[in-house]
Structure 1
Amino acid sequence: MFRRTPRLFAATLAVAALALGACAEKSPDDAPTPGGTSATAAFPVTVGNLTLDRRPEKIVSLSPTATEMLFAIGAGKQVAAVDDQSNYPPDAPKSDLSGFQPNAEAIAGKSPDLVVLSNDTNKIVEQLTTLKIPVLLTPAATTLEDTYRQLIELGTLTGHPDEAADVNNRIKDDIAKLTKDLPQRSAKLTYYHELGPELYSATSKTFIGSIYALAGLENIADASDADGKNGGYPQLSQEIIVKANPDFVFLADTKCCKQSPETVKARSGWAGVTAVKNNQVVALDDDIASRWGPRVVDLLRAVVDAVAKVPA
Structure 2
Amino acid sequence: MIKRKLALVVTIVMILGGCSDSTETTTQAPDTTAPSTTTSSTPAVTTTVADVTTTQASTTTSGDPVTDGYPVTITHGTGEVTLESRPEAIVSISPTATEILFALGAGNQVAAVDSISNFPADAPVTELNAFAPSVEAIAAFEPDLVVMSFDPGDIESGLNALGIPVIVQFSALSLDDAYAQIEALGAASGHVEAAAEIVDEMGRTIDELNAELGRIGSNFSYYHELDDTYFSVTSSTFIGEIYSVVGLQNIADPADAEGFGFPQLSPEFILEADPDLIFLADTKCCGQTAQTLAERPGWDQLSAVQNGNVIELDDDIASRWGPRVIDFLGAIVAALEALGE
TM-score w.r.t. the length of structure 1 is 0.87
In 1, are the aligned partners of 2:280 and 2:289 still within 8 Å (CA)?
yes
Matched to 2:65, the amino acid is S
- 2:115 corresponds in structure 1 to 84
- 2:340 corresponds in structure 1 to 311
Determine helix, strand or coil for the equivalent of 1:115. Answer: strand
In 2, are the aligned partners of 1:225 and 1:232 still within 8 Å (CA)?
yes
How far does residue 113 in structure 1 lie from its aligned partner after superposition? 0.1
- 1:188 corresponds in structure 2 to 219
How far does residue 102 in structure 1 lie from its aligned partner after superposition? 1.7
Change in 2 beyond 3 A, CA 1:212/1:70? same
Determine helix, strand or coil for the equivalent of 2:233. Answer: coil
- 1:290 corresponds in structure 2 to 319
Deviates more, 1:58-67 or 1:274-283: 274-283
Change in 2 beyond 3 A, CA 1:301/1:187? closer
- 1:205 corresponds in structure 2 to 236
Deviates more, 1:214-223 or 1:171-180: 171-180
- 1:223 corresponds in structure 2 to 254
How far does residue 176 in structure 1 lie from its aligned partner after superposition? 2.5
Q: In 1, distance between residues paired with 2:113 and 2:17?
A: 11
- 2:14 corresponds in structure 1 to 13
Q: Which runs of 5+ in 1 are unaligned?
A: 1-6, 18-31
Q: In 1, distance between residues paired with 2:185 and 2:16?
A: 16
- 2:69 corresponds in structure 1 to 42
How far does residue 270 in structure 1 lie from its aligned partner after superposition? 0.9
How far does residue 159 in structure 1 lie from its aligned partner after superposition? 0.7
Matched to 1:285, the amino acid is D
Determine helix, strand or coil for the equivalent of 1:309. Answer: helix
Matched to 2:70, the amino acid is F
Change in 2 beyond 3 A, CA 1:110/1:185? closer
How far does residue 16 in structure 1 lie from its aligned partner after superposition? 8.5
Change in 2 beyond 3 A, CA 1:119/1:183? closer
In 1, are the aligned partners of 2:217 and 2:248 still within 8 Å (CA)?
no
Counterpart of 1:301 (choices 318, 330, 333) is 330
Matches within 5 A, 1:16-95: 34=61, 38-48=65-75, 49-95=80-126
Q: In 1, distance between residues paired with 2:252 and 2:124?
A: 38
How far does residue 188 in structure 1 lie from its aligned partner after superposition? 2.8
Matched to 2:340, the amino acid is P
Q: In 2, distance between residues paired with 1:84 and 1:142?
A: 24
Q: Which runs of 5+ in 2 are unaligned?
A: 1-7, 19-58
- 1:110 corresponds in structure 2 to 141
Q: In 1, distance between residues paired with 2:277 and 2:87?
A: 45
Determine helix, strand or coil for the equivalent of 1:46. Answer: strand
Q: In 1, distance between residues paired with 2:218 and 2:104?
A: 40
In 1, are the aligned partners of 2:278 and 2:310 still within 8 Å (CA)?
yes
Matched, 1:143 2:144: no
How far does residue 34 in structure 1 lie from its aligned partner after superposition? 4.0
Determine helix, strand or coil for the equivalent of 2:154. Answer: helix
Q: In 2, distance between residues paired with 1:15 and 1:256?
A: 8
Matched, 1:234 2:263: yes
How far does residue 306 in structure 1 lie from its aligned partner after superposition? 0.6
- Percent same amino acid among aligned pairs? 48
- 1:27 corresponds in structure 2 to none
Q: In 1, distance between residues paired with 2:86 and 2:134?
A: 24
Determine helix, strand or coil for the equivalent of 1:197. Answer: coil
Change in 2 beyond 3 A, CA 1:205/1:157? same
Matched to 1:143, the amino acid is S
In 2, are the aligned partners of 1:59 and 1:112 still within 8 Å (CA)?
yes
Q: In 1, distance between residues paired with 2:201 and 2:327?
A: 13
Q: In 2, distance between residues paired with 1:183 and 1:105?
A: 49
Matched, 1:262 2:291: yes
Q: In 2, distance between residues paired with 1:12 and 1:243?
A: 26
Counterpart of 1:214 (choices 245, 254, 263) is 245
How far does residue 204 in structure 1 lie from its aligned partner after superposition? 1.0
Q: In 2, distance between residues paired with 1:284 and 1:15?
A: 15
Matched to 1:244, the amino acid is A
Determine helix, strand or coil for the equivalent of 1:181. Answer: helix
> RMSD over aligned Cα, in angstroms?
2.2
What is the aligned residue count? 290
How far does residue 222 in structure 1 lie from its aligned partner after superposition? 1.1
Counterpart of 1:163 (choices 189, 194, 198) is 194
In 2, are the aligned partners of 1:97 and 1:106 still within 8 Å (CA)?
yes
Determine helix, strand or coil for the equivalent of 1:140. Answer: coil
In 2, are the aligned partners of 1:56 and 1:78 still within 8 Å (CA)?
yes
